[in-house]
Amino acid sequence: MRNVKQPGAPVPERIRWVEARGRAFSFTLQAGLPLLEAARLGFAAEGFAAGVLNFRRGALGPFAYVMPALSKTGENAAFYSDTFRPGGVTRTRLGSMTLGLRDGAPFFHCHGLWTEADGKASGGHMLPDETVVAEPFEVEAFGIDGAMFTGEPDPETNFKLFGPVAAQSTGARTTSRAFALRLRPNQDFAGSLEQFCRAHGIARAKIHGGVGSTIGARFTHGGVTEPFATELAVTSGLIAAGHSGTLEAALDVALVDYTGGLAEGRLVRGDNPVLMTMELVLEALD
């Protein structure tokens, strides 16, 4: 399997997880607000301080983002591009967000694909402090109670990354058992989730959110992304028994690579290792 050497030593625990409770809901992001504040308000209205969301068509402006890039210093296995700030209103096609805390304040990690005002199709990593909701649009959210995604230094990758930590209950209404996860580098995306579900007696699970990176990508439709550094959003995901009776993860994703190439489709199981991180929430459906 493809492997990228990280600057720090790998820690033994390759899946960081916290069990929590959760609930799915939808809400509309308010126009004129920074995307971070609009998302925070939507979760807070349902009693949640953290969670994940997915969206399709939306409108952002002002808008700022970075794309994956090669590392100029060698201090990281890959890095970020300079900041892009397209003019006018950018129309999102899809995206996935993790909402949590960093340095004690609300923060998000958000990847997506979009079309800029001049017609350019692009994608990448949205910057929370420079992105504003231009027009109201709806998102599909999943709030978690009893866990929080928190940005902390990660010696393995030499980045500050979101990971789940246990948190006090906010008393929000919840409907299901949920697990906040972070997958560490150089393990197959689908295989690690299948293994996690087997280890925790989960026969069927739905993925909510899903923000991270893979080492290139191999798709079931035959498409291949060769450039190794990507920014990826999970558009849908389900882990359930396949024809053979064993658990299989069906992961539909969209990504941009460091050359600007865009790709979408279902990932091949067993051939899509994590590059830096993968954050998501698993909702147990059994």
pLDDT digits (tens, 9 = 90+) for 11-55: 999 999 999 999 999 999 999 999 999 999 999 999 999 999 999
Residues in the chain: 286
Residue 126's pLDDT band (cuts 50, 70, 90): very high
Sketch out the chain's domains with CATH numbers.
21-143 (3.30.1330.80), 180-284 (3.30.1330.80)
pLDDT at 107: 98
Name the residue among 115, 136, 110 with its Cα closest to residue 53.
110
The yes-or-no verdict on residue 86 having pLDDT over 90 is yes
pLDDT at 286: 83
The yes-or-no verdict on residue 110 having pLDDT over 90 is yes
pLDDT in tens, 209-221: 999 999 999 999 9
**DSSP structural state of residue 128:** G
**Residue 233 carries which side chain, given as an amino acid letter?**
A
The yes-or-no verdict on residue 172 having pLDDT over 90 is yes
Q: Kindly state the helix (H) or strand (E) to which residue 213 belongs, with its residue range.
A: strand 205-218
Q: Kindly state the helix (H) or strand (E) to which residue 198 belongs, with its residue range.
A: helix 189-199
Q: What is the pTM of this model?
A: 0.97
